[in-house]
Structure 1
């Protein structure tokens, strides 16, 4: 190894060590990289010209349209957390499925899947479900290990079930790696990778993961009934009423999921516009769900419902194929009537959105959500800037070429290299967050893997599933930390760690299934493209 390659390897190991020690991610990435760049300049192993291109690397991050979807999806998730849909879902579905063995645990998994598709934020889902359902499960006789692990595992579904912030960030990194593979490795393809491709590719593996989680809880309930006992319905319970209330509780998030995912996957909206639609829907839903006794609150609540119905009707009107563009000089009578109807619907939607926003502002919910969104978005972008500096200096040392040579020399060809990368990401997941792995590791290993002919959508989905395990793998699984912070004393750390092991095994099994059957990840994107 040359002196530059030695410094590149030392820089990578130093960054990983500092991150494991708990130092700030963004400043660790940027600071360590700049220190090693200075050492490289002094030793003559690093060309300082690379530093001149740093502004040109950072500024496009601030203007990249696809990354605007990140704060919008974060806003949608935090706002839905405030709308208390989780409480309604858990209460109704827990009562409905209670008489079935493991029914409460299975309902937690399905509610987690709905919240994952609605919010996409692991911390919010795990904490909310931990506060609401964990005491109930323990009071009804569930084993602490199974109850806590099922909540932690269901909370991580937000990383793989779209719309997901992880998939947005990973799609951006995979897209850049795909372009790098075309430029540096002579990959002959004109294809591109979009967020919609990864959303479509992750949908089926995510649903399979939900099914396997539910089957595992049912299996435990059958072989160990004491760990997941069934509960009788209350004496005055009305099954039809329970079904109706459960259906009503599921309708709002399902409509929002269909609106956001449907608009993106069908091609009617870009991911950024779909995220904006989701943020608007979350505002209307939060306004409708918050109870009120004031006259203005009642008016805003009714208009929120009217606005949601009007916007949904406007979308359906557009799907009929009628030309609603304002710039047309000649229109048929049908198009003119449709345009007038569309204007009225848009006006109702706008008025409802304004009233809902004003009411949420008066209650303080809008301010809390905006601050949380700002905090999370700033964290993501500062880490992205630090990772960009790290990547630039690492490549200045020739580190990208060194990684490519190591992967090419791996036994077993491209599949041996792929196995090494997956194992490395899985091990790093014990100590690092998914954002750190995505920004540091993926840009280094993805270009040579893609240059070997691997499908970028398939590779992105397998990596996303692998990254999802980082939330459950001890000792630093973030879902475990979130849940441990709100769990009652009877749920010990040992029980929590023991309980998540089967769910980690299920995730590994789903990864193996997607590797063995690539169509699970590539089939839906290909169908939508065709």
Structure 2
């Protein structure tokens, strides 16, 4: 019966959407009706409201709905959704203030004289508007009103003109900042958690180990990562559009002729182009740049964009009047003052100590006041001129409310879909497909593409993604990133705006196109661009580096970059070190050989011993890394024959597991039926017969496992263990090679700081003799704290602590304290002597040696990756690596 209600849920949703019923009510409405009918039927026919639910019951569904409602509106972790109204505001403000119109006119004049140039200008402006507005409807309407008449007037083909405008208007779905990317990031965040748990359970099931290595985990994503991941694919799409128009214009010049500019290319023309181009480009740079550099979160960047759009609208709406640019100039000047001041002097109101600090704070306060004045001034203009601000706020509220209501409705629908076993049905279908992950992925992308003919992008994102994303992300054979999956789905969803019969970009354009342009011409015009979008999807699919590189680069070069010792980075860090050894290994070996000739007899015996071990480990690190890579090569060689066997057996075992779960559920049902007095005749016999059939099928599946599986699996597991052992051995070797150098450098660098404590330690004798025990104890504690800040001064601190303990308690012993103080002073003098001697004798050499090995042998123990290593590791991590053989 669960399948009946699942089918009813899908039919109700499809029927409501096809009839034109509002999406915001169609999604939750179909869920509520189906859940209600299932609960009522269960209560009437089975005496249990949850009888026809595969998971839980109506109460569980209601609880899930409340949880989703709380998640959208109250969970701090989902605050990314706040960026949606901010970016919507920015887009609508730029469109209503006619900045988009200025861009189109200027670019058409600039590119028009080139054959196909008018079409290229439309694509170029579409890309810029995508990066500033992200609102497809506004972009298509604006370009349709301005560019379409010009293109038709200059004998452009109707199909090419309308196809170019409609396709360029959809770029806002993939070029950041994009609402769909924010929604996808929000949906994928929970999908990543589910996929991570599923992968851990699978690892435990196949290996028997309770803890899965963190390097095998599913990487999380964020709206910022999605923005960075979508940037290059968006530019690839822009490049394909432009290339198509140029090629068509070259072979068929009559359908895309050149459009000579009637005016003059003088200073006024250049000024108009720059005025139309520079402000939007600046806004794009500030919004995206603040995210890329880590200065601002996505929400903060959205606020920056909203304020920037209002300032730009303030001078555009006042165009032609005196003082049009005054608010913008005031805001920009004050912002520059704040940035310059912050770069030359720290601004901290809580830490004002000098007159320079006071002056900096005063200037900053004045600059902030001027900045706020510029924003308020611009806001007043947008409020009074054509009631622009009110219109933008109303449209922003409508759009944002629609998005959030759809999110909640989709969450209710997804919960109902899961309640009737739909998610498990989809999982069984996808995992049962031959061809593994890529077969599953192609089917999912094909379904999303077909759904794009009928559904809006938000509906697809919030209904389909929560169901299929956990399944695809959990698969270790592809080991894809959530960012790549999100961008691929986003690019696929983008086609929904062009595909008939419900291509919204076509509807928008139809509404502003003249009657002479036939709807059939518009459909013909978008077909090549749909093909280009699918081709771009193929390019990004086979080259995941286009998506993954920028987020990885941003992460590894930011201030909060993970340390090189992070488990997820180890394989790529070792690849980098191996390549560096190949290039500069001779110089590193020479540095190690030279270091072994140093005279270190004046160092303490323990330090000498540590250095000798360090040099020996440094020499061994080359062979240790070679052994690690040899072990990896052995895995690759063994995998050639083992992989087909592994895939085949794991597929069979997955089917065996499904049968075992079904048998267990049936056995529980039989046990429950036996306890019921009113059980229907034949129910128990029917269930037992099904158990016998499933048990026979399970036994048959077990017989299909090849006889050599256990032996081959055990042999391959040993190869994996050897590689793991070799990698760990290398890591221990390089750590033991560099850690003594790191510690010794820090130790002798603190030699002067330690020597400066001589007077403090000498003064303790007088404190012990003249002060009260409590006062003397406090004085000693102060000295202990100072010693504690010195590297490797623990032994001295311990000796001074003995002085404090001698005068502590009910029976202070000043004589004992003085004796302990003499021992501490002797130890202190000894430490200062050898540190200062070492600093003079090998300090410079130690620095040179450290520089020679720091970025290879010592790379793991650095606080962060150096830039060249970070870029190399980012590129290495951008590809997807199959880890299924470890499962």
Aligning the two structures, in what range does the TM-score lie when normalised by the shorter sequence?
over 0.9
SS in 2 for 1:432: coil
- CA change 1:53–1:148 in 2 (3 A) is closer
1:262 match: 289
Match of 1:515 in 2: 541
Question: Higher RCO, 1 or 2 (CA under 8 Å, sep at least 6)?
Answer: 1
Q: Deviations over 1:64-119 (max 9, x none)?
A: 42111101110010011122112221222211212110111101110111111110
In the alignment, structure 2 segments of 5+ residues that lack a partner are 43-50, 202-215, 557-887
Q: Could you tell me which residue of structure 2 aligns to residue 88 of structure 1?
A: 102
Higher mean C-alpha deviation, range 253-262 or range 323-332:
323-332
Q: Does 1:271 align with 2:282?
A: no
Match of 1:45 in 2: 52
- Give the drift of 1:185: 4.6
Whole-angstrom distance in 2 between the partners of 1:410 and 1:329: 67
Q: How does 1:333-372 map to 2 (within 5 A)?
A: 333=356, 337-363=359-385, 364-372=387-395
The aligned residue for residue 61 of structure 1 is 72
1:307 alignment partner in structure 2? 331
| Aligned-partner Cα distance in 2 for 1:527–1:27 | 42
Q: Where does 1:185-334 land on structure 2 (aligned, <5 Å)?
A: 185-186=199-200, 189=217, 191-234=219-262, 237-239=264-266, 241-291=268-318, 298=322, 301-315=325-339, 318=342, 320=343, 323-328=346-351, 330=353, 333=356
Cα contact 1:300–1:355 (8 A) shared by 2: no
Change (3 A) 1:163 1:35: same
CA distance in 2, matches of 1:347, 1:249: 28
The answer as to 2:92 corresponding to 1:70 is no
Q: 1:220 to 1:74 in 2, by over 3 A?
A: same
| Alignment coverage as a number of residue pairs | 522
State how far apart, in whole Å, the 2-side matches of 1:133 and 1:38 are: 52
2:25 to 12, 24, 27: 27
Residues 1:488 and 2:511 are matched in the alignment: no
Q: In 2, are the aligned partners of 1:284 and 1:308 still within 8 Å (CA)?
A: no
- Bigger Cα displacement from structure 2, 180-189 vs 87-96: 180-189
Greater CA drift, 378-387 or 397-406: 397-406
Residue 489 (structure 2) pairs with residue 463 (structure 1): yes
Matches within 5 A, 1:357-436: 357-363=379-385, 364-436=387-459
User: How far apart, CA to CA, are the structure 2 residues paired with 1:316 and 1:140?
Assistant: 49
Structure 1 gap ranges (5+): none
Of residues 219-228 and 355-364 in structure 1, the stretch that sits farther from structure 2 once superposed is 355-364
Counterpart CA distance in 1 for 2:537 and 2:354 is 53
The answer to whether the 8 Å contact 1:153/1:503 transfers is yes
Q: For the residues of structure 2 that align with 1:327 and 1:300, how far apart are their CA atoms?
A: 38
Checking the alignment, whether the CA contact within 8 Å between 1:96 and 1:242 is kept in structure 2 is: no
Decide whether the 8 Å contact of 1:68 with 1:272 is kept in 2.
yes
Q: Deviations over 1:193-218 (max 9, x none)?
A: 11000000000010111111111111
Q: Distance in 2 between matches of 1:293 and 1:448?
A: 58
Deviation at 1:370, TM superposition (A): 0.6
Of the two, which has the highest radius of gyration? Answer: 2
TM-score by length of structure 2 reads 0.57
1:429-474 CA deviation, whole Å, 9 max, x = no partner?
0111101101111110001101113210000010000000100111
Contact 1:96–1:243 (8 Å) recurs in 2: no
1:401 to 1:317, Cα distance in 2 relative to 1, 3 A: farther
Secondary structure of 1:491's aligned partner:
coil
Contact map agreement 1:69 1:272 (CA 8 A) in 2: yes
Partner residue of 2:196? 182
**Structure 1 residues 222 and 275 mapped into 2: Cα distance closer, same or farther (>3 Å)?**
same
Q: How many angstroms apart in 1 are the aligned matches of 2:35 and 2:396?
A: 34
Paired residues of 2:130 and 2:173 also in contact (CA < 8 A) = yes
1:60-139 → structure 2 map (5 Å cutoff): 60-63=71-74, 64-139=78-153
Aligned residues of 2:314 and 2:327 also touching (Cα < 8 A): no
**C-alpha separation in 2, matches of 1:400 and 1:252:** 47
Q: CA deviation at 1:339?
A: 3.6
Kindly indicate whether residue 25 of structure 2 is the aligned counterpart of residue 18 of structure 1. Answer: no
Task: Give the whole-Å Cα distance in 2 for the aligned partners of 1:524 and 1:293.
Answer: 42
Question: For the residues of structure 2 that align with 1:177 and 1:67, how far apart are their CA atoms?
Answer: 16
Does the CA contact (< 8 Å) of 2:192 and 2:218 recur in 1? no
CA shift digits 1:183-241 (9 cap, x unpaired): 3453753742110000000000101111111111111111111101112232x512554
Give the structure-1-normalised TM-score. Answer: 0.94
Q: CA RMSD in A?
A: 1.9
Superposed CA deviations along residues 13-70 of structure 1, whole A, max 9, x for unmatched, are 4313422332211211111111111222123213122113422220221234211110
| Deviation for aligned residue 1:308 | 3.0
